[in-house]
Structure 1
Amino acid sequence: MVFSSLLKTGNDQRRHRRLSSSGSPGGDTSPSPSQKSSVTTVEDTPYIASEAQLEDVESEPPELTDLNNSLAALAAIFPDVQVEVFREMLSSFDEESRLAVVTEALIKNKMKWSRGRYKVLGKETAQKPSEDTVEVLPKEERFRTDAYKLAVKNAAYNEFKGLSHSTVKAVLAEHNHSFIRARPTLAALHAKSWRFSITAIFSRKKANPEQNQFIVWHSTGLGSIIPTLKSSGCVELDRELFESFIKPLQVRSQAEQIEKDHTLALELNTEQAEEAEALHDCECCYTSSTFEELSACNDGAHFVCFQCIRHAAKEAVFGQGWARNVDSQLGSLRCLAPVTDECHGCIPQELVNRALLGEKGGIDVIRKFNERLAEDTLLKSQLPLVRCPFCSYAEIDDIYLPETQKAWNFRQHSNLSLFGFALFFPFIGMIPFLIPLILLALLISFLASFNGRVQNFARRHIMASYTRVRRHQRGLRFQCQNESCLRYSCISCSKAWSDIHICHESSLLALRTQVELAMSLAIKRTCPRCNTSFVKSSGCNKLTCVCGYQMCYVCRKDIGNGEGYRHFCEHFRPNGGKGCTECEKCDLYRCENDEVVVTKAKEDAERLWFEKEGGGDEDLKKTLVQKYDPAKDGWVGRMWRSRPSAESVLDALVEFVIE
């Protein structure tokens, strides 16, 4: 609609008043009284008001660049270790061959150097592909220049004057001298100081979280104010402060101004349409709307307003109206007009997107709508899918073969390959074990000609074996192609992929931790007076703690206050090693076997863990038991568990015969 053809004098005056009240574009809205009191003009003081005023950061010294490159390389090699471990080690070793020495030390004894400082690799921290190893390392984790550290320290001293310098230095050291990361901790400590408490008592102003010493509000001279950054004297710190404090305020102010302008434009357009009698009725809710706020279906040309489209799309995505409101074949909304003859038309997708984008949060609704549509299409295709565990992305399994392409190609082996296959068996004595397998295969092929069920059974197992072989050749690493995700995961355990990947590693670590804790608690004694824990390695059962507390190792009773050795049995026993028949006191030297106690505690801990975490997953239990305790049954048990299963033998034969 052309506005100039419909404007009148009264409408011009109304629009002029609204535009004058909305303020200039990009201006900030309604500052607090404390902000108004500090307002000055931009020309008076050289503060940083835009990103163009920031100077370029100087290049790092060669020594610092070498340290940061080594730090990035270590972070890529050991993604499960926290970066502070690498910083400590690089700082403690000499410059010559520093990276090689640190890498070798971590490979040989990672636990000693890391001391439990590991990253939790979960869904939030899954590995993403990166062409540059430096991008793996955040800026806050890198080595910083001395000028930057000095500027951060001075800025912290000036803002948190209620804290001692030693406290500020300690907090900055904990956060690698990153002011943005250390500021919340310093603010929390400052809020507990006595100076802050006294100031809060006598001050009636409430603390503004957006107000700090670096933000100064300046007047633009056009009736609005803008936030500016007070320079700290360090170019690198100024950029960080601008990105953290000023830029979010500018983005929010710009978004609010755009929303106000959009609302004002809609109101003006509606008023002009009313004056020109150019409103149209929606055939769904029967309300009047402008032509710009209407859509039409592609069959009966029924008019539906944007508000009804938004309600229908939200009900389809977040409610129970998907089957009623969405046509999965065309990928768009059905016509919403309640006509007598059912309309089979759909609303064009570009009009649906336009209606959703006109509302706050419309981009998220469109994304959810497209994800739901793709999910519905994939489910109807009934194809084998591989899904990303961190988002809704899914793709067809690349080892899937349609029925028309299931023609197998048999391998053509030379004499050398046949000789290599013969060397596959470590002992010649295992060859007789293949005779029953060959006879079984011949029997199955013989029965297959008489029984279709046997043929289907054999075909199903051979196809499953062929699928396992192709999966093994393809590998278990899966990369998500969603641009907002792009993470690696394991197809087998659906966990984040990190080189070198071990399936069920987190479950294995949890099981080992719980079992070791139960085994230590079974033989450990704790003093109830000073909470000191200890284990008896030899000697009698009368234990004396360093605090003076005396207890019995067997029954854990307090035997102080003169009882001492009278707590134990004093009768003569003709046959040593047996219990006393005259009393029920504890033995001075004889106690229950620690190995039996530890074994029982271990079995109970394993059973409780599998009941709680493992559930009925026998494959998971078998995998964890093999990795956790391979020597549980001795060499006989190891040989029995290492025997080739029927599936592995069949997989070897299929891989040998079929390409």
Structure 2
Amino acid sequence: MPRQYHTNYGLSASKRSEKSLIDQLVTLFPLGDPEYFRHCVSYYETNHIERITEKIFEMGGYYPQLAYQVDINDNNNNNSLATEQHQRWNAALYTLATKLFPDTDIDYLRRIISQHTHSIVEQATTQILADPCVPERLEYGQLSRHDMFKSESYKAQALEQLVLDYPQIWKSSICAVLAENNWDYINSFDQLSEMGSGGFWRSIRNFFVHWSLPKAGSSSSSSSTTSSSLHQRQHYMDNTFTQELDLLRKRQLDQQSAKDQVVAQEINTQEYDKHHQSITCGCCFGDYPFEALVFCSQGNHPFCHDCITRFMMEGLFGQGGLRGVDRIPCISSEETCHGCLPTMVLQQVLSNDVWKAYESSLFEVNISRQSWGLVQCAACSYCELDESIRPMQQILDKTARFISIARWVMVLLLLLIILMLGRMVNGKLITLLLLFTLGIPLIISQHQWDLQTDLQIAYNRIVHQRRGYAFQCRHPSCGKLTCLQCMHIIRGIHSCYENERDGLRLYVEKAMADAVKLSCMQSVISKIRWMQQNCMQVWLCHVLYLSQRYWKRILFSFL
């Protein structure tokens, strides 16, 4: 008994000493990862602080630090440190999935991250770069709420809530659905609602299996117990799970509101039809209530929402006549109407996708009319004003006179060099020969010297030095990297003009394949030269063609 007590005391003492060492290292290196320091302490037996400090200084003062918590729903504006394991995994997942490896599969990243407890970003990056077959994904640089790691309390609460939401489904099936959806409550809720209970007889069986008669006099006690348990659950509920419950309730309220709006519109239409007060649309000539119509700015021509939507979609995605048009004209068949469709009304009638497309077209047209130096994303309309250098057109406008003068200055300098060479030789004849052989061609060729192209090349070099070679889009729904040399999206290890080189390679390979084919003169049949059967066919056709030409010449000679 005393020996066992001595052993436990020794273990606790070693843990206390380890904790004190980690606290000293955290004091020396602020925001350092305690798990990383614990891993370093386990390597040494003595002089832990000195050896670890020496190693950190040998690496240039770099050491893994604690990251901040990541909240997708709060636009990542969280200043609290990630201390728990799932929070640190989420911070590493956000860094890897959105910045370092934006084209790598999320499940693959989660599987690698879950293998490490410290230096997660560094170790995961090393492991990914060493893997020759890294799976890719389509959603470049996107990270959703359901992709994040979940805490153990979240998993337990999600399972408990789904059991309450779907009492007719077995708990094992709910666990399987949760595991399939990365323990996300909302996605599992939607999938279970699509699955249903399995039919009428399955519902009857589950009702008798799960339902039990309440005991007499236990209604008040059960209600009080339920209310107290709900209050206790809300008190200890995970913050992420609470947010998802609020999102689910808001979505259900929005769906109910949309259904109520449809019913109200139907009742309104019936009332208009009953009293014969419907108004005719000026485009499709259908009868609609006043609330379902849009009037032009003149107030004379009404149009239904469907006609306005089809008109805008055809003008934006079809013929394209409305792209960049800031004043949408009235679509009435009367040519005397000079009104337009109000912008505020269009924003209310059109869907979000169509309205965003219209706004993007206006933005692109207005930007193209300006002479600003802009850097634009290759995947969306996001752009930034480049103030590091003036636009090329402004430079050319201000230096047009200097360019013409520079050409003649270069010619005069070369002529002076020729004259100086002639004086050094002391021969007038040689000087005249040099003037005629070099000076006159220089005067003629100065008009052919494309100085503007040379300035453009120098301008591009300066731009690349100041801007860099990649542009990070800061749009919340995009976030892609654009190569500023080829203006293509950067996916993984980027190579400029890769598609163009592939097209050139395919063109050359096709030309080489066509070069080894021999076309028959008479039947124009393309066959491979080294195939014996086709060679015989080409040879026979060639002989027949020559014999026909021979007999034709003989016949024409007698005519």
**Which bracket does the TM-score occupy, shorter chain normalised?**
0.3 to 0.5
* Structure (1 or 2) with the larger CA radius of gyration: 2
Higher RCO (C-alpha under 8 Å, 6+ residues apart): 1
TM-score (norm 1): 0.41
